[in-house]
Each structure stands twice: as C-alpha cells, then as structure tokens.
Structure 1
Amino acid sequence: MAKLVLLHRADSIYEDVPDQVYDFPRRYLATVEQGVGDWAVYYEPVKAGARGYFAVAKIASVIPKPGADGRFLALVEPGSYLDFDREVPRIRADGRPFESALAAADGSPIVGGAQQLAVRRLPEAEFAEIVRAGLPADLEQIEARRYDPQPAGMAEPPAPFQRPVIERLISRPYRDVAFRRKVREAYDYRCAMSGLRLRNGGGRPEVNAAHIRPVAHQGSDAVWNGLALSGTLHWMFDRGLLSVADDHSILVSHNKVPRDVADRLIVPSGRLVLPADPRARPHPQNLKWHRENVFGQMPLEGPRPWD
C-alpha cells in the first residue's frame, strides 16, 4: 500500500466525484493500484485555483471505466472522504513545498516535472504533515473553546492529546466536528431553509449541520453532502417531511406538515439559501437519494415540534 496525492479540479473534464470516484488514465494505473486500501490527499493544481491540499479519502478499489478504453476509476471507500478544516497551501511559510518530490536540491519549488503528475506517491511523513496542517489534532478542543475560550474553573486549556493521524481520520466524533465546522461556515451560519442566522446569548450559532445522505447509508462527510439547518428543520428533513429538488426548491410533505407551519418556517422564495462557493452546494446525487429514500417515506410518530 502507499499514500497518494490525487490532483482534482472542479471543472475537470473527467468524471471525478471526490467523495466517490477518481477518474484517471492508464499511465497512472500501477501507482493508483499501490494506493488501494490506503489514504490519498486531494490537491488542486495551480491553474485551477488557490486551494492547494483540501481533503483526504481512502481508496477502496480500482476498476476499468465502463465504455472508456484506457481509463480507470478509483472507487473511494464510503464514509472515508473528509474535507480539511483548513486548506493547506502548496508551499510552507519557509518557501519549501510540502512534498519533497516537488522541491529542488536547495528546497525551492520546482516548475513542471513531478508537479504536473495527476497522481503522485506521498511518503508517510509528508502525508501526516499535510493532514495535521489541514485537520489539527485539537480540532475538537478548538471548536469547544470557540464560544467559551476560558471555561469556568479552568486556569488554562489542557494540552491536546496527540491522537495519531489515521486514528483521527476514522474517529466519528472528530469527523462530526470537522463536518459541522465546514458546513456551517459554507452557509455563513445561516439556515438554508429558513434563511435565518440565529445566535444564542453567548454568540453560538443556532444551526446544525445535517447530512443529506446519512453516513450509515454510505453518505460522506463532504460539505456538498451537508445542509445547514435549524433544529426544527433538521428534525423535519431527517424524517422526510422536507426534501430538496434539483433546482434547489424546497419540497414539503403537505399531507404531514400543515401549510401554515411550512409558511412560517421556510424562506418566502421556497428555495434553499445556498453557499457562495458553488463547490459547497448540495450535490444532485445526494439530493436525489434523499428524495427517493427518505422524503415522504418515514412514519411520523410522537410529538411534533410545531404542536
């Protein structure tokens, strides 16, 4: 097995869906096959944007691409993809690349050569350094202190436990925090369905990060599989009382939700309030899955939030 770097651009002509599949030509087949069962870091090339290293995922298998001779698909292990909390620049503050393969003998960045490869081997130490920069070990503590920097009775915050990189990547509590931070930030802490940006007395945002396709049903922790929703609308979305069409209009199960309730809770336009960054907007495949598997199909029992 081997760690890899996978180049990806949002406007790629290939059928890449970073949390599902990576499309590549035969020339990279041997390298990608070495990465099966191991982790890869996604990298945005210079000409495509400024993000640098932006996510990590585990490669499950490689198959020939149906109907495309000479092309292959690396299938991503369901639930493994995770956006970095902080996008990692291509070059360190000291001017050296994170990848030794992209550095000249004096440590300065090279132009061309390995930098142009769509798939690159990545030494373990460099993989760990990039992931630590994008997903800090103390992310959970950072979030806990965000609106309460000095908890009562604590002289100073404890030093973070340096959990190994892979252990963090498979930790559900850690991933939940990373997902919540990315989704709420993408929506500017505003509920996508009500349009409201509410904060409690301490300044903490009163908005949840909802998975469109749950992780338990092979959904990912990608920001485009999330919606920022208020507590009530999150409850309704998870129970199939609400869904979203491909044009981002909000669908309501009117046989279960009184019209006056929907009118009070949902933005007057009846359409999602979307992130400014198109890359963070809900993926059509996830919206389709929710409509086909959740919307209008869940039994509604017990008290309802609007009663």
Structure 2
Amino acid sequence: MAKAIFTTSESSAYDDQPEVRYHFPRTYLRQAQAAVGDWVLYYEPRRIKGPTSSSGRQAYFAIAQVRDVVPDDAKPGHFYAHVTGFLEFDRPVRFSEGAHYYESGLRKADGSTNKGAFGRSVRELSDAEFDAIVQAGFTRELEPWENTAMGVAEPPIVYTARPRVEMTRLFRDDAFRRHVREAYDNTCAVTGLRLINGGGRPEVQAAHIQPVAREGPDSVRNGLALTGTVHWLFDRGLISVDEDHRLLVARSGLPEAMSGLVQSQRPLRRPSRQEWWPHPSYLRYHREHVFKGTG
C-alpha cells in the first residue's frame, strides 16, 4: 500500500465525484492500485475552469481511503478508484508555504516549482508528507464558545488533529457539523433561521442527506444545515428536496402543528459557494429511499 495525491476540480473532464470515485487514465494505474487500502489526499489545481483559468486554490482540501480500482467499461483505457471515508479539511492547505513544499517532489533543487511533477494528476506521497498535510488541514482556531466550554480564556487556542489517529466517528461527526454550519453561515436551509445562543454557539444542526448508515459521506455536499425540528422531519422522510432545490412535503404523517413551519416548493437556502450545494445524487437517494412521498 502507498499513499497518493488525486488531483481533481469541479470542471474536470473526468467522471469524478470525489466522495465516491476518482476517474483516471491508464497512465496512473500503478499509483492508484498501490493506494488501495490506504489514504489519499485530494488536490485542487490552479486551472479549474479551462486551460487559461487561474482561480483554483492550488491546495489540498480533503482526505479519503481507496477501496478498490476497477476498469471503466464505457471508456477503454480508463479506470475508477472507489473511495470511502471522505472528509474535507478544516482549511485548504496550499502546496507550499514560503520555501517549504509539502510534497518534496514538487520543488526543484534551485527552489523553484517542478512544473513537470505538478503535471501528474496522481502522485505518490510519503507517510511523513501525508501526516504533515493532514495535520495542517485539520488545524483550526477554536470558536469563542468552544473555549468557554473548555474553560479556556482568550486568546483562543488552536486545535490540531493527530494524523491517522483522529479519523474516529466522533472526530468525523464534529468536523462534518462544523463544515456544514460554516457553509450555510449557521442558518437553517429550510426556515432561514439563524439562532446563536448567549455563549455564541450556533443552534443549527448538520444533517446528512444520505445517511452515514447507508454509506453517505461526511461531505458538505451531503449535508444540510437545519434547525432541530426540521432535522427531525428530514431524517424521518416527512420532508425532502427536489432536483431544483425546492422543498417537498409528505402528504401524510406530518404533525399538524408543523404544517406552518415547512411549505412545499419553498426554495432551499444554499451556500454562497456553488461547490458546496447539495449534490443531486444524495438528494435523489433521500427522495427514493427516505422520503415518505407525496401520495
């Protein structure tokens, strides 16, 4: 087994869905197969909207574990790496910070960037480099209400993950909750309510669209920020979301007292960044397997 970097972007010509699969040509088959059973990091390049674009973050942004590698039956010479355990970082990690390069292979002896190495979409990664990137990605400043809860005075302390130790369910739930809240600005996607308690803690919750128990990933695109009551309705399939991000309400089973809280066809409040919007595949799963329907 060996760790690796998978380069991907929203405008990729390949059939990528980072939380689920990575699509690649035979050129990278050896590196991808070596990563089966091990961890990979996702990297967003500088060009994400065409050959002349330069708006990409040039940063590592998520972690996942390669489950298997299989041929793409529809496109000869291409393959899929199926992944599990996907989780976005707390912050994107730039490929270099000053003179330091997280991937030593991207730095030439003269200190300049090795563009040839950068051109490889799948790159092998040492354990030490992997650990350093993961630690940087999951380092964050604690919120004021978190400091208060821990009995810590100002200035805020910094939380740092321990690589390959912190990928527990508790760690993942906490990271998912924070990422979804941040994406939705602590505001309920259905009601538009933004409630912050006296200690500064947001009351909105993070709901998985496709449940974790049914292989739903801990991705912002598989999440919705919802108040507690709306979360309860969503998890029980009494409400759902259509392909146009409008609310669906079951015709039966909805408590009468809640009928005024949720209204059919109400537009969903979405994150400001489109790459964080609910992914169609997760919304479709919820409609087909969780939602109690309109009949």
Could you say whether these structures have the same fold, taking a TM-score greater than 0.5 normalized by the shorter chain as the test?
Answer: yes
5 Å-filtered alignment, 1:185-224, equals 185-224=182-221
Aligned match of 1:301: none
Task: State the SS of the aligned residue for 2:165.
Answer: helix
Q: Could you tell me which amino acid in structure 2 is paired with residue 146 of structure 1?
A: P
Q: Is 2:231 the partner of 1:234?
A: yes
1:88 matches 2:93: yes
Name 2:125's counterpart in structure 1.
122
Distance 1:115 1:241, change over 3 A: same
Q: Identify which of 245, 249, 262 aligns with 1:248.
A: 245
Distance 1:231 1:162, change over 3 A: closer
Quick one: structure 1 residues 13 and 160, their matched pair in 2 at CA, closer, same or farther if it must change by over 3 Å? closer
Contact 1:150 1:156 in 2 (8 A): no
The letter of the residue matching 2:45 is: P
Residue correspondence of structure 1 range 40-79 to structure 2 within 5 A: 40-48=40-48, 49-50=56-57, 52-77=59-84
1:90/1:195 Cα in 2 relative to 1: closer, same or farther (>3 Å)?
Answer: same
Range moving further from structure 2, 32-41 or 148-157: 148-157
Query: Which residue matches 2:291?
Result: 295
Shift of 1:31: 1.1
Residue ranges of structure 1 left out of the alignment (5+ in a row): 298-307
TM superposition shift of 1:189: 0.8
Q: Which amino acid aligns with 1:109?
A: T
| In the alignment, structure 1 residue 113 sits paired with structure 2 residue 111 | no
- Secondary structure of the corresponding residue to residue 288 of structure 2: helix
Assess if the C-alpha contact under 8 Å between 1:239 and 1:295 holds in 2: yes
Q: 2: distance between equivalents of 1:113 and 1:234?
A: 48
Give the superposition deviation at 1:108. 3.3
One of 160, 172, 192 as aligned partner of 2:169: 172
With over 3 angstroms needed to count, the CA separation of the structure-2 counterparts of 1:38 and 1:84, relative to structure 1, is same
TM-superposed deviation, 1:258: 5.2
Higher strand share: 2
1:105 partner SS? coil
Deviation of residue 168 (structure 1)? 1.1
Query: What is the aligned counterpart of 1:104 among 104, 108, 128?
Result: 108
Partner of 2:267: 271
Q: TM-score scaled by structure 2?
A: 0.90
| Deviation for aligned residue 1:266 | 3.3
Secondary structure of 2:145's counterpart equals coil
- Aligned residues: CA RMSD: 2.4
Whether contact under 8 Å (1:96, 1:108) holds in the other structure is no
Quick one: percent identity of the two aligned structures? 46
Counterpart residue number, 2:53: none
How far did 1:259 drift? 6.5
- 1:195–1:267 contact (8 Å) kept in structure 2: no
Q: Normalised by the size of structure 1, how large is the TM-score?
A: 0.86
Residue 282 of structure 2 aligns with which residue?
286
Q: CA shift at 1:163, angstroms?
A: 6.5
Q: How far, CA to CA, are the matches of 1:82 and 1:259 in structure 2?
A: 38
Given residue 270 of structure 2, which amino acid in structure 1 is its aligned partner? L
